[in-house]
Structure 1
């Protein structure tokens, strides 16, 4: 099948390559500038601390925050755990959504084993929540609303500003998973009214193993330390800072802010081209809102085939499937199931996500090879 042998990566929602400028910024902090940012008694430590603070400024500039409102972590998952566990040391109620990333959902599942009660909002067929349902779910013991900005599987964008207005009306903090929004779509933490946000570096051409959380200044006392140890990062994330990683994340944020509008325009055109090509395949369905969706990702289902078989057939194209596979069973994506997709259609879905290096040629080859693969599988 297929005449194309060029390897094409279309799984940028999973991870991205490190930008050469990011790598260049990081390298000195592995060798000559190797100091511990907590070493306050000599120049090696001072230099490392200064580098961390510059990175903090770069991250805060990207999301519209104050520098002191940024805490560095090992990634979004750790940030989510710090936030969720840190807000609910006592018996309380948290509202989230059925289509959240597992970093949120599984943390909430674990918290239910204690005294925390979780409400999971439903979504419609386009992946959107009902704001009336959200407001109706608020109880006297509600401590937090937790909703993602951009869905990692479908790209659906939630109305964070409207959600924050409901939260403020009831004097509740709003936490968002901003992992797929950071550096991709316009997201201003202060203007949107969110109180907490989690995100990762490796989604925006920075290194893996580093991420961050935003904590609105007025909300600092709402959080209790989930981890214990040193006093780094205001005592909320103790441990020696990953200075090279943090420097890389800062540089990645600086570049993302610089290129945000141009990249968004490019992705919009590529997504339109991709989906026009996919729609020419009989039985193809694009999942998620057609108007409130990130241009970086397309979730497509192909009637009559299994998505995992399509992925294996595309030997030179890297795409993914939003389902959890085990050795014995394949389960449909929890996101697509919550959107009421029939199981067979949900199992046929694949996620195609684009990034800076993606070209028109890449998209055209992907369309051709997916078209041939679907035809072959249906035979």
Structure 2
């Protein structure tokens, strides 16, 4: 009996280390997946210009990258629960890779738009599969690693992707660049079985693809309070993030006379702060407790948005950018953690499908409605209106804690 406790402790430590090793391998796969997408996005923009696409065609090509994701995210969630993430990841990746390999033969902007639309329909199979795998792992290793999924993908897509794309185009041109992109997708297919074999499907969450299942997936948002709150917060986080990323350049150039390079630096500053928060602040969430950490994140986001809305000097813009990235990263850690909790109860694929839909939908609303309202009023004033949303989140969180304490 005396040796029972040390043996149990050793087994627990070994299991935890094994889970961390699986998570490390998954994060490497996720970073490579992000890198392939990041390179493809940059090459696509330049290739469209090479084909002499006009402004409307460029807008359609840009929009086509999101349409398929919005259409296929929920079906992808059902398919992942039905067939498992490995099979869906393989199908989505092989189909996307094959289409990218065909790109050098595309000689018109219209055909390019159609191919991108097809690729965007297959991409949710990849994204949802990766999200489902990560949610299961987070349930085992804790909230401290919650931000790493989004961070590793962003490092590959936003930081390394443009650099690799520039090097590829300079070295091998568009044809060679697309061959490299397509080849990377096939490498991911070879690596995926080593990671996804650790996924443990549950019979309780197995579903058959049907309209009823898709309807039930949407109905979950209304019946599960934690899921509903997480979806609403994820929607608003991505709306603010997309509005900032797109319109801060316009604000900086028109109102503060920044040159284009300086204005782009504001995006980089916010993005770097966001990634660092995702990577480094999960452990703080574990120590502080989820609700207190969430409120702290809300306060930081509110302060950042007020600074950006009231900015009258260059340094206020830079400060607001860095603080906003940190605050949004903190809130993102919490939404990922909440989604993982609901996924453990309702099925990882089902919840991953919802998250893959909610995020892009929020980004679309943030850029379109935010830009439209900002045009009527003033783009900078939009930061004040967005701050009001997070003030409501903060007050609701505090009120909920008071009610719990009273009970």
Shorter-normalised TM-score: what interval? under 0.3
Q: Which has the higher strand share?
A: 1
TM-score, normalization by structure 2: 0.25
TM-score, normalization by structure 1: 0.27
Q: Which has the higher helix share?
A: 2
